[in-house]
Amino acid sequence: MQRILIDTDPGVDDALAILLAMKSSELLVEAITTVSGNVHVEQATENLLRILELLNLSKYPIIAQGEAQPLVKPLVKAEHVHGEDGLGNISMLRNPDGSSRYPPIYCDLSTISGVDLILEMVNRYPDELVIVALGPLTNISKAIQKDPERMQTLKGIVLMGGVFSEYGNVTTTAEFNVYVDPHAAHDVFNSGVPIHIAPLDVTHQVALTGKRLDSEIEGRSDIISSFLKESTQACMEFYREHVGFYGLHIHDALPIGMLTHPQFFKSVDAYVQVETEGNLTSGMTVADLRRERQDDSPNASVCVEVDADAFLNHFFERVLT
Over 80: is that where the pLDDT of 262 sits?
yes
Given 40, 186, 196, 251, which residue is catalytic?
A: 251
Is pLDDT above 70 for 67? Answer: yes
Q: What is the pTM assigned to this prediction? A: 0.96
Instruction: State the pLDDT at residue 107.
Output: 85
The pLDDT of residue 60 is above 70: yes
Overall average pLDDT of the 45-50 stretch = 96
Query: Catalytic annotation on 251?
Result: yes
Give me the pLDDT at residue 295, please.
Answer: 66
Can you give the pLDDT at residue 105?
Answer: 87
Average per-residue pLDDT in the chain? 96
Contacts of 268 (CB under 8 A, 6+ apart): 289, 291, 294, 301, 302, 304
Decide if pLDDT at 291 tops 80. Answer: no
- Are 86 and 10 in contact by the 8 Å Cβ rule? The answer is yes
Span 145-163, mean pLDDT? 98
Mean pLDDT of 29-36: 98
- Domains of the chain (ranges plus CATH)? 2-319 (3.90.245.10)
